[in-house]
A and B are shown apart, each in its own frame.
Chain A
């Protein structure tokens, strides 16, 4: 049995915040889940995918976040409780659906999990998705811990169903990837309807076009209905147990999410337990203004502690002004709470110390000398490295290289240096078109297979229809590697072996109107470069060319097919130390040995070499060596 399906009588389990959300959704009867993976939200859909057959839940890796939200809302409109999960920038993709879904609403509960990533651990930007809840007018809950994440998922479902509106569950990386004890509760609805022998996802749809089809006359009516829900949701927030106070004193702190934990530690460590009252807002939109007013009453100074934007702070200031209380309110500001990046207990202590005029002596930090950096890198044997190597050989430094989002973004690092522009998923394709119209330089764009399906197709249709002149390289490694090898429409490798893809990448590209298209295995270096040379010639005329660089992610292939490595490569004595292998390919298996008796040497670390043979095709001094037995991976 999957750990997340253990009965409620089991003791507390240590769960990731994301796993706690899955558990909460299962306890709350969610039977339809759709998501596109994105750090830090990915484990939600991954765990659902693992337990789907056992639980009788319909789970899909949707093509992108907008599609996931639309798919899931149809289920919720048909009376099947649903959940979709995405990272913050995924909500940008889904925003069109999100804003209007708030109008139409749902019949069964629908939870939209949005995972923000303060400090950009694994993202292209920082953004505060709480503002989206405000813009859409939907209720929002903000958990601080895995235990709360589970409880609030249940609460979000109930709220959503009661008010027939999707509910946002807003997390941050430190909630999604925090692991803490979670109390397992009972499942409200038993799993799997044996009689139907399939997913328990049968819904019912009642035709009601003048409430469900958003034409202007319907939209006007629903706009008013949405505004009408707001005070009722607000009344719900006012009495929610998710908003509570801790402590006593004339000073106050208002906080939400993981910041609450930093505040609790800071209050104790500053010795302010008798001075500082804390208001913790778990149901933070609509803002419980009466709760805030009551909290402010009688306080002299209040600090709002939240990550990213002054979302709560602005409301607290409004409430203070409306109430006429003479309370000093602060939040974002120099020496107070920073707007950029994550908070931690030390930052909160510093801000509270400054604001309340309490001595805080930060610990003196040990300094360290300059150390060698350890940036992440493309794995040994990664086919993207081979593709980048060949492209640079043919297109050189003059070409512009728009980049996209995935493992292959690591191609930005030296020695490959293959990324010139990137803003978001799919931007490589569309920006290439723009560059090609205003520059007289070759433009070569990179996009991964999963990202292409996610948001590359529309850009490609646009480029073809406007005669944009560039080469689009689809780095097709057969999986969504960056987020943990999730499937996508073009997947051929499955646990059952190799299958025909549901959607052929090449057919889609031809269907977009591309006529100059070639497919290569980038691990065959000479062949790849010949094809590229030919494509370069063709690019003298207008129009889009596409190269599909097709070779499976070796990590994924090994896992799916259990392929055993047969050779490693070695550098023999004929090496003249030209260092091209280090300077042009940059495989992590290569090591420049410290000079011994004035003699340097380049070596291939046999433990890291994956046997891809790319290096041996560019250097005569590199030779294969058969392996006696298979190498093991890490534990």
Chain B
């Protein structure tokens, strides 16, 4: 395959947050591969190690005309949250014009499970974010993934939503190629369906609530 010249576009910084085991790093790779496929400059950062034992997992994709692979506080243009409490925790990464795509399905932290602290009401979480960020897509990604064939594909649903919003200059073709490059063949079909479900949701342009 030929390498296209890299296109220069204004930088878009995407911050991913979730809980170990939710497939955030795989989703990060999907977005990165799609950007590369599209011929955009892309750089990504991941943290491996302790975070995988039920802790918070953070990663980033920076697309376009920028050098840093990481995202400083206040500089994320898009926040991809795989868990609603983590969406709020990552709010300092965002600015007023950021887009937030967040799953509404809580993964209860251990500190809450044993009664040391209390998980905020979902509606309160939503409102805390919404009062600062207008552009919030708030969806039950697990339910969409279940309908697509597997709850475990909820990471791909969220990537689909991001693609559907059209915020990234990446064609549908490149997204499809990225899925192929990052997923094993045996789960590709379900993930395509999950991606499509997310894509439809994202492109409807009507965030719930």
Binding site for B on A (CB under 8 A): 11-12, 14, 16, 39-40, 42-43, 121-122, 145, 173-174, 177-181, 258, 260-262, 264-265, 342, 344-347, 362-369, 371-379, 407, 410, 415, 482-483, 579, 582-583, 586, 588, 590-592, 605, 632, 634-635
Query: A635 contacts B187, CB within 8 Å?
Result: yes
The complex places the Cα of A364 from the Cα of B85 at a distance, in Å, of 21
Query: B152 contacts A374, CB within 8 Å?
Result: no
B68 interface hit (Cβ, 8 Å): yes
Question: Which residues of the other chain, B, contact A181 by a CB distance below 8 angstroms?
Answer: 36, 41-42
Query: B75 contacts A591, CB within 8 Å?
Result: no
Residue of A nearest to B133 (CB): A366
Residue of A nearest to B72 (CB): A346
Partner of B45, one of A39, A178, A265: A178
Residue of A nearest to B114 (CB): A582
Query: B45 contacts A368, CB within 8 Å?
Result: no
Question: Which residues of the other chain, A, contact B53 by a CB distance below 8 angstroms?
Answer: 376-379, 407, 410
In angstroms, how far is the closest chain A Cβ from the Cβ of B166?
23
Provided the pairs A14-B36, A145-B43, A178-B69 are in contact, do residues A635 and B153 lie with their beta carbons within 8 angstroms?
Answer: yes
Query: A177 contacts B46, CB within 8 Å?
Result: yes
Query: B111 contacts A375, CB within 8 Å?
Result: yes
27 A-B contacts (beta carbon < 8 Å) = A16-B46, A39-B48, A40-B48, A43-B48, A174-B70, A179-B29, A261-B67, A345-B68, A346-B74, A363-B73, A363-B95, A366-B92, A368-B89, A368-B128, A369-B128, A374-B54, A374-B109, A375-B110, A376-B53, A483-B49, A588-B54, A590-B114, A591-B113, A592-B114, A634-B22, A635-B152, A635-B155
Residue of A nearest to B23 (CB): A635
> Which of B2, B20, B50, B88 counts the most chain A CB atoms within 10 A?
B50
In angstroms, how far is the closest chain B Cβ from the Cβ of A425?
15
B21 interface hit (Cβ, 8 Å): yes
Provided the pairs A374-B111, A377-B53 are in contact, do residues A366 and B132 lie with their beta carbons within 8 angstroms?
Answer: yes
Query: A372 contacts B117, CB within 8 Å?
Result: yes
Question: Which residues of the other chain, B, contact A347 by a CB distance below 8 angstroms?
Answer: 72
Partner of B73, one of A180, A365, A582: A365
Give the top 3 A-B pairs by smallest Cβ distance, nearest first. Answer: A363-B74, A122-B49, A346-B72
In angstroms, how far is the closest chain A Cβ from the Cβ of B174?
13
Query: B109 contacts A365, CB within 8 Å?
Result: no
Question: Which residues of the other chain, B, contact A366 by a CB distance below 8 angstroms?
Answer: 91-92, 94, 132
> Which of B44, B109, B110 counts the most chain A CB atoms within 10 A?
B110
Question: Which residues of the other chain, B, contact A415 by a CB distance below 8 angstroms?
Answer: 114
Q: Give the contact-size bracket for chain B.
A: 35 or more
Query: B49 contacts A372, CB within 8 Å?
Result: no
Provided the pairs A366-B132, A634-B22 are in contact, do residues A373 and B111 lie with their beta carbons within 8 angstroms?
Answer: yes
B120 interface hit (Cβ, 8 Å): yes
Binding site for A on B (CB under 8 A): 1-3, 19-23, 26, 29, 32-33, 36, 41-56, 66-75, 85-86, 88-89, 91-92, 94-95, 108-120, 128, 132, 150, 152-153, 155, 187
Question: Which residues of the other chain, A, contact B108 by a CB distance below 8 angstroms?
Answer: 591
In angstroms, how far is the closest chain A Cβ from the Cβ of B99?
14
Query: B110 contacts A632, CB within 8 Å?
Result: no
In angstroms, how far is the closest chain A Cβ from the Cβ of B81?
13
Question: Which residues of the other chain, B, contact A590 by a CB distance below 8 angstroms?
Answer: 113-114
Partner of B47, one of A177, A579, A605: A177
The complex places the Cα of A213 from the Cα of B116 at a distance, in Å, of 61
Further pairs besides A14-B44, A39-B49: 8, Cβ < 8 Å = A145-B43, A177-B45, A178-B43, A179-B45, A365-B73, A371-B85, A373-B111, A605-B113
Partner of B74, one of A40, A42, A362: A362
Provided the pairs A372-B117, A376-B50 are in contact, do residues A11 and B75 lie with their beta carbons within 8 angstroms?
Answer: no
Question: Which residues of the other chain, B, contact A12 by a CB distance below 8 angstroms?
Answer: 3, 36
Question: Which residues of the other chain, A, contact B51 by a CB distance below 8 angstroms?
Answer: 376
Question: Which residues of the other chain, B, contact A379 by a CB distance below 8 angstroms?
Answer: 53-54
Query: B155 contacts A374, CB within 8 Å?
Result: no
The complex places the Cα of A527 from the Cα of B11 at a distance, in Å, of 61
The complex places the Cα of A261 from the Cα of B65 at a distance, in Å, of 12
Query: A261 contacts B69, CB within 8 Å?
Result: yes
Provided the pairs A372-B109, A374-B111 are in contact, do residues A179 and B75 lie with their beta carbons within 8 angstroms?
Answer: no
In angstroms, how far is the closest chain A Cβ from the Cβ of B6?
8
Residue of A nearest to B92 (CB): A365
Partner of A368, one of B42, B75, B92: B92
Question: Which residues of the other chain, A, contact B119 by a CB distance below 8 angstroms?
Answer: 372
In angstroms, how far is the closest chain B Cβ from the Cβ of A115?
12
In angstroms, how far is the closest chain A Cβ from the Cβ of B129?
9
The complex places the Cα of A121 from the Cα of B47 at a distance, in Å, of 8
Question: Which residues of the other chain, B, contact A122 by a CB distance below 8 angstroms?
Answer: 47-50
Question: Which residues of the other chain, B, contact A363 by a CB distance below 8 angstroms?
Answer: 73-75, 95
The complex places the Cα of A264 from the Cα of B54 at a distance, in Å, of 35
Residue of A nearest to B69 (CB): A178
The complex places the Cα of A345 from the Cα of B29 at a distance, in Å, of 23
Question: Which residues of the other chain, B, contact A179 by a CB distance below 8 angstroms?
Answer: 29, 32, 43-46, 69
